[in-house]
């Protein structure tokens, strides 16, 4: 390996080297890192997404509306916060860990041009000091309170040590549609996080909303970074493939014993191929009702449609376990994960 590549490899591993609590511990700094350091990243990607043999990423947005309806699981799941997002990076730019301040600002401005012309009504809010769409700290906090805007990235050691959070808050911001169901984060862990949040009970509806937004952006002519095997290129290998994470906010008071045993829910979720996070996103806590963000873990080697199906099938099992735990279920669910 050339000396320059050795330096890049160190950069890729920095998040893990500096944080003992890392579960994955790497962030790509440029799309080509996935080829240059494939000896390391390939096995890691396959292990995380549980891929055996050689799989090439396929895409499929054919997701039924009216089928994955949460009230079928429990009639009380009438109004649930459902979220889906895809991570994207644009061809010709470095990935966030190795962007410098000028590149971050250039990228933000390129996106503002897209927002001005891409046809979905909405507004861009910038965190970049001096930007024409700049918002105050107070306004930013209000958007965080609504769970729209991402947190101050400098409070996350994984993001600071890897360089993802560098030059904060320059080149960072959020576009929000007028109806507040669609949003686009600029300059977080990936250059773009394209998101839909819908309050309701049909998982297919949130996919439709997200796909409409993604298609709108694609029509603007932006070309996303793609890898011939791994699909969409993302900063963290956990997002490679579809880049799609789909979740609901659900309450699991029985499994978590009123939020006091988060680990129990996390372990059960893991055994079902799901991830359970707190209400404020990654590394946040659950509340007294055991409210958790539940999503399938795999994003590579599955299509967008399969991510939704896995969430649906996982939720059926998880809510069943929640019901059992409520029926004095320690006895009944003690042996699910062995």
Name the binding residues for ATP.
81-85, 147, 193, 245-249, 277-282
**Residue 14 binds ligand ARG, judged by CB under 6 A:** no
| Residue 15 binding ligand ARG, by CB under 6 A | yes
Residue 143 neighbours by CB under 8 Å, 6+ apart:
125, 135, 149, 174, 176
- CB of residue 241 vs ligand ARG: minimum separation in angstroms? 13
Q: Which stretch binds ligand ARG (CB under 6 A): 20-28, 97-105, 131-139, 244-252?
A: 20-28
Closest separation between CB of residue 206 and ligand ARG, Å? 20
Helix or strand or coil: residue 225? coil
Q: Which two tokens stand for residue 26?
A: 């790497």
**What is the distance, to the nearest Å, from the Cα of residue 191 to the centroid of all Cα atoms in its chain?**
12
Element (H, E) at 264: helix 262-271
Measured in whole angstroms, the distance separating CA 84 from the mean position of its chain's CA atoms is 8
Report in angstroms how near the CB of residue 238 gets to ligand ARG at its nearest. Answer: 5
The smaller minimum CB distance to ligand ARG, of residues 156 and 322, is found at 156
Give the span between the Cα atoms of 130 and 35, in whole angstroms.
Answer: 38
In the block, tokens 């470095």 appear at 94
- Contact window for ligand ARG (CB under 6 A) among 15-23, 74-82, 199-207, 301-309: 15-23
Binding site: what residues are annotated?
A: 81-85, 147, 193, 245-249, 277-282
C-beta closer to ligand ARG: residue 15 or 296: 15
Report d(CA 137, CA 155) in Å as an integer. 15
Residues 84 and 104: their CA atoms lie apart, in Å, by: 25
Among positions 85, 131, 158, 193, the unique one binding ligand ARG when judged by CB under 6 A = 158
Give the length of the chain.
Answer: 338
- Interaction pattern, residues 25-54, with ligand ARG; x per rule: CB under 6 A: x-----------------------------
- Choices 23-31, 99-107, 180-188, 247-255; region in contact with ligand ARG by CB under 6 A: 23-31
Stretch that binds ligand ARG, among 19-27, 56-64, 106-114, 247-255 (CB under 6 A): 19-27
Query: Could you tell me which residues are beta bridge partners of residue 246?
Result: 84
Give the residue carrying structure tokens 């089928």: 67
Least distance CB 282 / ligand ARG (angstroms): 5
Tell me the C-alpha distance between 105 and 3, whole Å: 30
160 binds ligand ARG (CB under 6 A): no
Please identify which residue in 13, 18, 22, 289 interacts with ligand ARG, judged by CB under 6 A.
Answer: 22
Torsion of CA 270, 274, 278, 284, to 10 degrees: 70
Q: Are strands 192-200 and 231-232 parallel, antiparallel or unpaired?
A: unpaired
**Interface size with ligand ARG, residues (CB under 6 A):** 10
Q: Which is nearer to ligand ARG, 238 or 303 (CB)?
A: 238
Query: Residue with CB nearest ligand ARG?
Result: 236
Judged by CB under 6 A, the stretch of 22-30, 78-86, 179-187, 256-264 that binds ligand ARG is 22-30
Pick out residues in 235-264 that bind ligand ARG (CB under 6 A): 236, 238
What is the 3-state composition of the chain as percent helix, strand, coil, each rounded to the nearest 5? 40, 20, 45
In degrees and rounded to multiples of 5, residue 22 shows phi and psi of: -65, 140
Measured in whole angstroms, how far is the alpha carbon of residue 240 from the centre of its chain? Answer: 11
Report the interface residues with ligand ARG, using CB under 6 A. 15, 22-25, 158, 189, 236, 238, 282
């Amino acid at each position: 390996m050339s000396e320059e590549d050795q330096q890049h490899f160190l950069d890729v591993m920095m998040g893990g080297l500096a944080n003992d609590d890392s579960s994955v511990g790497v962030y790509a700094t440029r799309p080509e890192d996935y080829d240059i350091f494939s000896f390391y990243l390939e096995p890691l990607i396959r292990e995380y997404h549980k891929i055996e043999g050689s799989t090439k990423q396929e895409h499929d947005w054919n997701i039924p509306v009216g089928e994955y309806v949460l009230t079928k699981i429990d009639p009380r799941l009438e109004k649930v916060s459902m979220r889906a997002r895809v991570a994207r990076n644009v061809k010709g730019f470095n990935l966030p860990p190795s962007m410098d301040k000028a590149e971050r600002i250039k990228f933000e401005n390129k996106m503002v041009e897209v927002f001005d012309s891409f046809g979905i009504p909405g507004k861009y809010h910038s965190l970049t000091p001096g930007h024409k769409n700049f918002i105050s700290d107070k306004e930013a906090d209000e958007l965080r309170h609504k769970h729209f805007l991402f947190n101050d990235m400098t409070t996350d050691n994984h993001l600071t040590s890897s360089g993802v959070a560098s030059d904060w808050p320059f080149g960072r911001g959020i576009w929000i549609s007028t109806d507040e169901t669609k949003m686009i984060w600029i300059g977080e862990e990936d250059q773009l996080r394209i998101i839909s949040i819908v309050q309701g009970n049909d998982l297919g509806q949130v996919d439709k909303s997200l796909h409409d937004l993604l298609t709108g952006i694609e029509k603007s002519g932006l070309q996303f970074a793609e890898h011939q095997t791994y699909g969409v290129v993302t900063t963290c290998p956990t997002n490679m493939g579809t880049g799609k994470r789909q979740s609901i906010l659900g309450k699991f008071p029985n499994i978590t014993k009123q939020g006091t045993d988060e680990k129990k829910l996390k372990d059960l979720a893991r055994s079902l191929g799901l991830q359970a996070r707190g209400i404020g996103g990654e590394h946040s806590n659950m509340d007294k009702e055991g409210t958790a963000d539940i999503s399938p873990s795999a994003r590579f080697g599955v299509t967008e449609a399969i991510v939704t199906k896995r969430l649906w099938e996982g939720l059926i099992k998880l809510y069943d376990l929640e019901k059992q735990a409520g029926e004095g279920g320690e006895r009944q669910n003690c042996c699910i994960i062995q």
